[in-house]
Amino acid sequence: MLESAIADIGIRLALTRSTLRLSGFNEAAKKKVLSLQEYFVLSAKSIGFIFRRPFYTTDVVQQMDAIGVQSLTIILLTGFFTGMVLALQTSVQLATFGATMYVGRLVTASMIRELGPVLAGLMVAGRVGSGIAAQLGSMRVTEQIDALNTLGTDPIKKLVTPRVLAALIMVPVLTIIGDVAGIVGGNVIASTYLGLPASLYWRTVWEQIASGGFTLRYIPIDFIHGLVKPFVFGGIIVTVACYFGLNTKGGTEGVGISTTRTVVFSSIMILIIDYFITQILLAVL
């Protein structure tokens, strides 16, 4: 008797608990779906506004400076050292086949197709994404976003669109600069450490680019890979940063949370989306 009663209560408790958990899960899932939807609306709107008046040209130029020019140093540094370490590591492997002269090809292939875009993306996410989230977040908690709305300005048009546009232009540019820095870094190692003449190094670099094939006759497919990615990454970083920034809640503490979320989320997205873009490009080109 007693045992069955206890078992009964136990079952009932378990049932309520599981339904509770289920409803909690539903709520959370609903919220996730809603915020995902909000994110896509924000992204779509911000891109749509690129083509609609008024154009906040000054803001775009300012953002190109903030996102592009001011990221130059870290992009040059990361590119250069990555190129050097690539040359160093691959030369060890290549030496076992007696093929150290191909170090330029390996550095180029890795930099242009993969490391250049991904590293630039991660660097921009860390430097620019966090900055945007912090700035828009503090504008949100100090009522400046409300003030913009009140003064009849759409915050997406004024704040998000210039940043998106600037990133779409500048992240590919930064990537090219990073690629070049990396290949130059490889050359430094090749000539000092491996004793390869520069002319040979640069010839293998070009061989690698040409070996990837061409599309539309003159455009190396490697370049397409190398530029589609940072274009997409730039868009992701800035829209994610603006989304988290504009949705900041709970004072200064909230600003910190938005900033962290932006960096973590956009970095992970870069790595995941990199995989899918690669797969699509390999299939298409």
Partner 1 sequence: MSEKRPPNQPEANPPEPTEDIVPELYTGERAATEAHRPPTEAQGDERRKLERGPSQKPHPEAAAVVKMEGVHLAFDEPILEDVSFHANEGETVVVVGESGTGKSTILKLLLRLLVPDKGRVLIDGENIVDLSFDEALEVRQKMGMVFQSAALFDSLTVFENVAYPLREHTDLSEDEIEARVREKLEFVDLEPDKVMPQMPAELSGGMRKRVGIARGMANNAKIMLYDEPTSGLDPLTTATITHLIMKLQKELNVTSIVVSHDIRSSFRMGTKIALLAERRIVYFGTPEEMRKQDDEYIRRFLGGY
Q: What does the per-residue mask of binding to partner 1 show for 93-132, with x meaning CB under 8 A?
A: ----------------------------------------
Residue 176 has, within 13 A of its CA and on its CB side, a CA count of 10
Segment interacting with partner 1, rule: CB under 8 A, options 89-97, 144-152, 170-178, 210-218:
144-152
CA 212 to chain centre: 24
The SS3 call for residue 215 is strand
The answer to whether 149 contacts partner 1 (rule: CB under 8 A) is: yes
By the rule CB under 8 A, 151 interacts with partner 1: yes
By beta-carbon proximity to partner 1, the closer residue of 53 and 217 is 53
Is residue 225 within 8 A of residue 213, CB to CB? The reply is no
Cβ–Cβ under 8 Å, residues 233 and 121 = yes
User: 176 by DSSP, 3-state: which?
Assistant: helix
Question: Judged by CB under 8 A, which of 5, 98, 152, 283 binds partner 1?
Answer: 152
Kindly state the smallest distance separating residue 138's Cβ from partner 1, in Å: 8
Q: Is the preceding peptide bond at 54 cis, omega within 30 degrees of 0?
A: yes
What are the strands, taking DSSP E only, across the chain? 214-215, 219-220
Q: Which of 93, 149 has the CB closer to partner 1?
A: 149
Residue 146 binds partner 1 (CB under 8 A): yes
Q: Mark the segment that binds partner 1 (CB under 8 A) among 100-108, 118-126, 151-159, 167-175.
A: 151-159
Number of CB atoms found within 10 A of residue 200's CB? 14
Q: Tell me if 44 contacts partner 1 by CB under 8 A.
A: no
Contact positions vs partner 1 (CB under 8 A): 139, 142-144, 146-154
